[in-house]
Structure 1
Amino acid sequence: MFRAWLLDKPGGIFQAELRDIDESRLPTADVLVRVSHSTINYKDALALTDRAPVVRNWPMVPGIDGAGIVLESRHADWKPGDRWILNGWGVGETHWGCLAERASLRGDWLVPLPPRFDTRQAMILGTAGYTAMLCVQAIAARGLRPHDGEVLVTGATGGVGSVAIALLARRGWKVAALTGKASQEGYLRALGASEVLEREAYARPGKPMQKERWAAVVDTAGSHILANACAQARWGGVVAACGLAQGMDFPASVAPFILRNVTLAGIDSVMQPAAARHAAWAALAEEIDAAQLESMARDLALEQVLDAARALMEGGTTGRAVVTV
């Protein structure tokens, strides 16, 4: 038996319960693992509160992120005792996830835990940190460097935003942080933001072409915030879009892309191939500052997951929630 959060919809009525589950119910896969730490991402919060159709198969154990130790393996790359990280691959949506003491996972989905990190530190980063690095790498891959101008990070107090600010500032970028939480200015400046901007001006409809400012953007919001960020991008700018916290719509014009040669780079963390995942985690191990990483963390017990998910959905959280499983 192992403890896990189980989501179900008997008779169409949603249930979320922390309960004991027999190991025989785990899905079929080639690696059995002990989960040491997990996280609560936005997608996890949506699933745990039934705010969106994240879960595709019922019942479901949520948790798109995990880190821990291999217990049993039929996969050539993994043996008992190996330390692993998991991000995405539909886990917590179509395959039982990591808000549980045990998980049965495909070895092809796992990434070796970099020696620099323990499992808790890896989950402070989690999908949020890994996605932030993918965004930073996408900007660099298109040839942009700090001397090209300023970078805007939206949703700045969230997981992706927090890590993106720290990474970009460490690389030498002048970072502006966009947030609806003015009280967190000190937190954002400690991460490396040189300016903190109020979200409200970006959250409503704006002109399709606005004054050029941003050489690059990391956007976690979508909707009007993304549209306004694109409208303010400089000639040759890159906008890395990875989230939809404001909405899935994109009420924008093609003008910035045609007249200013702006690139809108979509960043998907769920189905990235193994090589990209390994490169992102290797870069995180090399570049993230340990003190800044710790400043983002809030530690939770498995019993606190549902309350934390509700708080996240209400916009009442900052940084990263780390679950000790």
Structure 2
Amino acid sequence: MEGKNQSSLKEQQERRKRINRIKRGLISFIGIWMLLCMFLCVVLLFKVNSLEKQISQLVSDATVSKSAAETMSENTSDKSGVFSYDSTESIGGEKATEQVIANVSNAVESDSENFAEENDQLKVYLTFDDGPSDNTAAILDTLAKYNVKATFFVVGKTDDQSKEMYQRIVNEGHTLGMHSYSHKYSVVYDSLDAFETDFNQLQSYLYDITGQECRLYRFPGGSSNQVSNTDMSEFIRFLNEEGVTYFDWNVSSGDATSQAYTADELLNNVLTDVPKYKTSVVLMHDSNTKSTTVEALGPMIEALQGMGAQILPIDENTTLVQHIKADSVE
């Protein structure tokens, strides 16, 4: 009997040992599995972090490349002038995103006599394209605050606020210019007839509202744009025959590019290039999305006045700034 009890006790001990071994095995397995999972998580986190850095670098490189491309289109060498592309929305919701490429040889020719030398009196013409907009009143208020006159190249808008802004531009002594009625590139530049129709529509419309016949024009995208379906010389010839003067620009604030410049950056863009020229025609935009342009305007005027520059509205005495010179078209 005692032998049986000892045998039973031994079996129980063996069974407990087996159970303990199984428990230890399970605990070890779970522990190893947890350590392995933690290791894998660490590896994955490291790889994710590495991928994030690579993606960030790629984005950064793409941004730099994009910025460089925009800078090349906005700011060529001193001898080629400063040009940009117009990415503003046209009336009717059509968005013009085509890049305007400057005709470098013509730019060199047109600006060669305009390079500033020491002690030259700098003349600066602030110009605003695409208005009127919700920001026009604020722009006019800022100009009035500093007793500065500017030039507004406007498009055709029929709402009461826009009509009020057309009249206010004229009443406050600014120059009112035309920038096409529709600002739809595909319409304006479809043919000479289309251009003439658009031109006459805007000129007549502005005369009906302000009593002033506009004799000043800025081509959407500039005279050197490469999005026109028709040779730009045809449109230039038409304006010449009408006795209408067109102006491009040789300084760009950068507010037309896809890059979202801050007010300080817009200011720096202008102040960097104005000292290069005796006559600077500065490209800016008057549209609902250009709040930074409004923000930059006051400091820009103060800085320009601080460097002794004259800020003037374009008139018949203004030195022509044209990417393609009007007198080169017969």
When the two structures are superposed, what TM-score results if normalisation uses the length of structure 1? 0.26
Specify which structure has the higher proportion of strand. Answer: 1
Structure number with higher helix proportion = 2
- TM-score in terms of structure 2 length: 0.26
Greater RCO, CA 8 A, separation 6+: 2
Q: Which has the larger radius of gyration?
A: 2
